[in-house]
Amino acid sequence: MKRSKKSMFRQGYLKAAVLAMTTFLALGMAACGSTGGSASTTAAGGTAAAAPEEVFKVGITQYAPHPSLDNCREGIIAGLKEAGFEEGKNLELDLTNADGKGENASMIAQNYAAKKYDMIIAIATPSAMAAQAAADGKNIPVVFSAVSDPVAAKLVESLEAPKRGTTGTSDALPLEKQMQMIRAFLPEAQKIGILYTTNEVNSQSHLKAFQELAPQYGFEIVAMGVNGPSDIPLAVDSLLPQVDCINNFTDNNVVNNLETLVSKASEKKIPVFGSEVEQVKNGCAASESIDYVELGRQTGLMAADILKGQDVNTMAVKVIRESKPVANQAVLELLGITLPESYKSTVEYTEK
């Protein structure tokens, strides 16, 4: 059968096109293979862009929205950035707050673990305990901050060798310096009131240590436990008539309701001594204060080292012990307290 010239032309054209494409692909493969493992080149002869930097996903869970923990969070972010991990570049942060509720802390931690984040950073003991439980067996390192007694909370086996998938920073309150301050500010005082939450491990540890110190400085400790925020007003009303002053730890429940405590104590002219500068800004008379921004910064640096490959199980817990005396001059004047001579050269005044 005789084919038309148009049909023969079409077939010739298709053969030429296939041949040209085959030649082009062969040349391209040869060019790629001739690089010898060096950076690939563009058609214009330039070097192609490097592979994008790995982005780490980190969840930061904060137990309660009070100033000292806020400072901790900001310090953590600053420490991560200082060590080379920055949002928008190689870090994606998921910031959450449990609003002082244990069930919220558990749900947040479980959500982070389900999303298989590269790390969970937990601020305060209840959030750290929830994070450890959620991350257990999932190969997700947990780094904690503002945990006063990580051994008692069973977050680590020891401060030197954690071994339980967690490590971090501990805010060891300078309890003896605090008691020395109270004695100096109130030389006639005999009874110190303590309001604490019965299920907060850090508060139990602080209370025990404070009770052991008290006889050395001529004090008796009157402790009153609460279960939650709703218990605080009645507990304060019951505690105030029994004491000469109140000392506040870093109890998250109590600190989250500090305004109630300070307001009722002020009406009775009972001084409240805080445990860090933000409590003093918010109405406490004075405190031997730890720097919670620096505590957070150290936590961020530790977290960065773990993201870079260090083993969370062998990284020792860092304990922050340094403190400075701070006082609220307006509160001291309102309560008629004279600054002791021994503190005049060292105290730092602060107001809200």
How far apart CA 99 and CA 120 sit, in angstroms, is 18
Q: What is the pLDDT of residue 96?
A: 98
Q: Does 166 lie in the same domain as 99?
A: yes
Task: Give tens-digit pLDDT for 214-262.
Answer: 999 999 999 999 999 999 999 999 999 999 999 999 999 999 999 999 9
Q: What is the pLDDT of residue 53?
A: 79
Q: Give which of 231, 225, 201 is closest to 124, Cα–Cα.
A: 201
Structure-token pair, residue 269: 């002219």
| In-domain check, residue 284 | yes
Q: Does 297 lie in the same domain as 285?
A: no
Q: What is the pLDDT of residue 196?
A: 97
- Which three-class secondary structure state does DSSP give residue 132? helix
Angle at 57 between CA 54 and CA 59, to 5 degrees: 160
Residue type, 317: V
| In-domain check, residue 76 | yes
Q: Does 316 lie in the same domain as 194?
A: no
Q: Does 265 lie in the same domain as 180?
A: yes
Q: Does 65 lie in the same domain as 109?
A: yes
Q: What is the pLDDT of residue 214?
A: 98
| In-domain check, residue 42 | no
How far apart CA 102 and CA 88 sit, in angstroms, is 31
Q: Give which of 164, 134, 135 is closest to 150, Cα–Cα.
A: 164
Element (H, E) at 71: helix 67-82
Q: What is the pLDDT of residue 120?
A: 98
How far apart CA 338 and CA 286 sit, in angstroms, is 12
Q: Does 342 lie in the same domain as 215?
A: yes
Task: Give tens-digit pLDDT for 26-73.
Answer: 444 444 444 343 333 333 444 455 556 799 999 999 999 989 999 999
Element (H, E) at 114: helix 102-114
Mean pLDDT by 10 residues, the chain (352 residues): 39 42 43 40 45 88 94 98 97 97 97 98 97 97 96 96 97 95 98 96 93 98 96 97 97 94 97 96 96 97 98 97 95 96 95 66
| In-domain check, residue 39 | no
| In-domain check, residue 19 | no
* Contact criterion met (CB below 8 Å) for 130 and 122: yes
| In-domain check, residue 338 | yes
Q: Does 340 lie in the same domain as 255?
A: yes
| In-domain check, residue 20 | no
* Contact criterion met (CB below 8 Å) for 325 and 348: yes
Give the CATH number of the domain where residue 108 resides: 3.40.50.2300
Element (H, E) at 320: strand 318-320
How far apart CA 317 and CA 160 sit, in angstroms, is 6
Q: Does 277 lie in the same domain as 227?
A: yes
Query: How many separate helices (H) and strands (E) can be counted in the chain?
Result: 12, 13
Maximum C-alpha span of the chain: 125
Q: Does 66 lie in the same domain as 128?
A: yes
Q: Does 343 lie in the same domain as 218?
A: yes
* CA dist 265 → 107, 235, 239 (Å): 36, 12, 10
Q: Does 96 lie in the same domain as 116?
A: yes
Which range marks the domain in which residue 128 is found?
56-173+292-320
Q: Does 344 lie in the same domain as 242?
A: yes
| In-domain check, residue 26 | no
Q: How many domains does the chain have?
A: 2
* Contact criterion met (CB below 8 Å) for 121 and 143: yes
How far apart CA 67 and CA 82 sit, in angstroms, is 22
- This prediction has a pTM of 0.81
221: β partners? 192
How far apart CA 165 and CA 287 sit, in angstroms, is 34
